Amino acid sequence: MSGVSNKVLMQQKSKQSSIKAKAYTTKQKILIIANTISGKQQMKKYLHSVQQLFAKKGETEVKITQSKGHATELAKAYGDDVDMIVCCGGDGTLSEVITGLMPFDNKPELGYIPTGTTNDFAKSINISKNPELAANMIIDGVSRHYDVGLFNNKYFIYVASFGIFSRSSYAATQQMKNTLGRLAYVLEGAKEVFSLKSYHLKITTDNEVLEDDYLFGAISNSTSIGGVIKLKDPNILFDDGLFEVVLIKYPKNILEFGQILHALQTGQYQQSDLITFVHTKKAIIESNEEMPWSLDGEFDPGAPVVEVTNVHRAIKVVH
């Protein structure tokens, strides 16, 4: 009996090693889309070595983004011809690449080298901040599915947020971010704390309808939001078809404001009456005043009715 199972095991092993050998000998077509001005412009220094690392895996080509939206155009133009797109940049550049890939039925795999300022998505999934280490993680990596968010007709990869701290994610200028790094966001955020604005909203999730005055809200697929809010919950999965909704009520007094900050700092947001935390597939947010949004850290003007839907397992990220 044990002889038979050993034989089966050996056959399986030899089958596995031939699959592995095939994966290494098949040359892939790899496009590297790099935003060399994101974050501290790290990619300027690492572009050559990163390209050389990928040259071991396949035929590589590099395209450097020239303006806002360019990464989407590049992903759209080349997405059908390549096996993998490696995106180098911050959350904004990653979001642009994914937007370019979404129309394809047969999407190439995606590798991500985080060289932005906050890199929330990379933090959530433990991708190295060192570009060469991140490149090696992709080269030896495993392909995993990720859900993508659809915000009316726009895509986002990890968060759509409004209210306090959302403005700071896009209001800090690139020059400020390059010079000050995360401090640029903190300074912009501090300005927002002094002008606490409330939004009266009706929010419909899969299981409930909520109506209140809110200070902040996020619909996310991440454990890190704007580098400020950290979500700790074993039920946060990136391919479960569900988003996490975090809503912070407008505090009526300084005491409540203190309670909110304490709950966020200590990760006790699920126990606070001032914070709502739910999982949902879809959310509809209705507002009767103008309310700007931040999609993956980039400004969006929003709309009176915003419908956010989870596009289940829409992309494959290798890491």
Ligand X SMILES: Nc1ncnc2c1ncn2[C@@H]1O[C@H](COP(=O)(O)OP(=O)(O)OP(=O)(O)O)[C@@H](O)[C@H]1O
Q: Which stretch binds ligand X (CB under 6 A): 35-43, 77-85, 101-109, 148-156?
A: 35-43
Q: Which amino acid is at 101?
A: L
Q: Which residue among 30, 33, 35, 162 contacts ligand X (CB under 6 A)? A: 35
Q: Is 298 a catalytic residue?
A: yes
Cβ–Cβ under 8 Å, residues 62 and 35: no
Per the document, the length of the chain is: 319
Site track 203-232 with ligand X (rule: CB under 6 A), x = hit:
------------------------------
Tell me which residues in 40-69 interact with ligand X (CB under 6 A): 65-69
The CB-of-295 to ligand X minimum distance in angstroms stands at 10
**Residue 287 vs 294, nearer CB to ligand X:** 294
Q: Which residue among 37, 210, 291, 315 contacts ligand X (CB under 6 A)? A: 37
**Residue 67 vs 207, nearer CB to ligand X:** 67
Q: Which entry of 96, 109, 244, 298 is annotated as an active-site residue?
A: 298
Query: 2-5: which pairs have CB atoms within 8 A and are 24 or more residues apart?
Result: none
Q: Which stretch binds ligand X (CB under 6 A): 111-119, 146-154, 241-249, 267-275?
A: 111-119
90 binding ligand X? (CB under 6 A):
yes
The CB-of-274 to ligand X minimum distance in angstroms stands at 28
SS3 144: strand
Handedness of CA 78, 83, 86, 92 (dihedral sign): positive
Q: Tokens 């039925």 appear where?
A: 105
**Residue 182 vs 202, nearer CB to ligand X:** 182
Q: What six digits make up the tokens of 29?
A: 């077509």
Cβ–Cβ under 8 Å, residues 43 and 89: yes
Closest to 221 in 3D by CA, of 283, 175, 273, 265: 283
Neighbours of 271 (CB within 10 A): 10
**Residue 149 vs 297, nearer CB to ligand X:** 297
Phi/psi region, residue 28 (left: phi>0; alpha: psi -120 to 50; beta: rest), is beta
117 binding ligand X? (CB under 6 A):
yes
Cβ–Cβ under 8 Å, residues 89 and 121: no
Handedness of CA 242, 126, 171, 70 (dihedral sign): negative
Q: Which residue among 93, 161, 168, 280 contacts ligand X (CB under 6 A)? A: 93
Query: Which H helix or E strand runs over 298?
Result: strand 298-300
6 binding ligand X? (CB under 6 A):
no
Closest to 117 in 3D by CA, of 67, 43, 194, 65: 43
Q: Which stretch binds ligand X (CB under 6 A): 22-30, 85-93, 190-198, 282-290?
A: 85-93
The CB-of-117 to ligand X minimum distance in angstroms stands at 3
The CB-of-94 to ligand X minimum distance in angstroms stands at 7
**Residue 172 vs 260, nearer CB to ligand X:** 172
163 binding ligand X? (CB under 6 A):
no
**Residue 297 vs 302, nearer CB to ligand X:** 297
Closest to 246 in 3D by CA, of 140, 133, 160: 160
**Residue 116 vs 149, nearer CB to ligand X:** 116
Closest to 230 in 3D by CA, of 159, 173, 289: 159
177 binding ligand X? (CB under 6 A):
yes
Q: What six digits make up the tokens of 165?
A: 């701290």
298 binding ligand X? (CB under 6 A):
yes
Active site members: 298
Which positions lie near ligand X, rule CB under 6 A?
Answer: 35, 37-39, 65-70, 89-93, 96, 116-119, 177, 297-298
